A and B are shown apart, each in its own frame.
Chain A
Amino acid sequence: SQQGEEDPQALSIQEGENATMNCSYKTSINNLQWYRQNSGRGLVHLILIRSNEREKHSGRLRVTLDTSKKSSSLLITASRAADTASYFCATDAPDSNYQLIWGAGTKLIIKP
């Protein structure tokens, strides 16, 4: 079963607006990663946040982690048409050193 659940399932905004996606998970984690996937392509790593970190930035991306609520959010500021993609969170699996467990993703559409 999938550990992460992204919310919302789909999000459509105007170019230039900010986009916020959320991820909830079930068990304790060591780290959480966010990935982007363009249609028909592989996933691209965006950012990794460790369990002892609360916030991390990378360019127009801001990720927060609240381990008490078992949730994370990904904020994309000043969105661009090229940000149109699906966004996934992934966490380490509770019974594996190697597996990542993924949510079903948020499909983001940026309208020009």
Chain B
Amino acid sequence: DTGVSQNPRHKITKRGQNVTFRCDPISEHNRLYWYRQTLGQGPEFLTYFQNEAQLEKSRLLSDRFSAERPKGSFSTLEIQRTEQGDSAMYLCASSTGGGAGSPLHFGNGTRLTVT
């Protein structure tokens, strides 16, 4: 178990640029989640994959955000035309199943700063 890996750890970008983050889940985990966390707050759900299928997406998620998990393994989260309000920690987590009753294994996140 090598854990959930996220790259890059930090990303600084100018407003209006596009950014892409990558998440490599634990290999035997078929469920993958993206969360966003701002300072002093708990994580906020963004989207969920079961294998390669994106089964749920937050209603709060702007159309500028898109996520993929093309082969049911790693996932990417892209933010287009970044805004300063997108500055946050983006967390990826994976689990083996059981819906919301399964413990999540988190990566260490990608911290995005939009200037």
Contact = CB atoms under 8 A, between A and B. Distances in A.
Interface of A: 2, 4, 30-31, 33, 35, 40-45, 48, 50, 88, 90, 92-93, 96-105
A97 B42 contact: no
A97 B99 contact: yes
B42 A2 contact: yes
Contact of B42 (A45, A98, A105): A105
A2 B31 CA distance: 23
Contacts of A35: 104
Q: Interface centre among B4, B31, B104, B107, by most A CB within 10 Å?
A: B104
Contact of A50 (B101, B104, B106): B101
Contact of B101 (A4, A42, A48, A103): A48
Given A98-B33, A98-B48, A99-B56, A43 B43 contact: yes
